[in-house]
Amino acid sequence: MERYTVSVLPLEATRFLIPFRPSSSVSDLKKELVRRLAKKAAVVDVSQLELYLGNKNGPLLDDDDLLEHVVRDASEEELFAILPSAPHSGSAASITVASQTVSQVSQTLRVIRISFPMSFLSTFRREWQ
């Protein structure tokens, strides 16, 4: 088993350390990464995920290649996973947008004041006493 460090972009603070067999394909590692991303509420289609060696501008890894053929020293080389630009439902980007929207609605609701005419309040009090 080797330990592969994978940084996920554009989720800047998301890095995974994945123990994996070097005899596995790049595609198998991508599937494991997608499984781990799902635990973090990011839904990603494995076919759209791209893995690069060294940095986000490094060489693109082919799904059919074996890890042992493209990553010479897993302890020294980092992999970069690039997520598709359009977020899928449930992804971290859409969750952020949803929480910002809820926050805006909640702030709006705090400003709303309900006004009743005094005659209504008098009637209401009489009926409940």
- The CATH number assigned to the domain with range 2-82 reads 3.10.20.90
Cβ within 8 Å of residue 4, ≥6 positions away: 17, 18, 19, 20, 29, 67, 71, 74, 79
| pTM beyond cutoff 0.75 | no
pLDDT, tens digit only, all 129 positions of the chain: 999 999 999 876 789 999 999 999 999 999 999 999 988 877 888 999 999 999 999 999 999 999 999 999 999 999 999 987 644 444 444 444 444 444 454 454 444 444 556 665 555 555 555
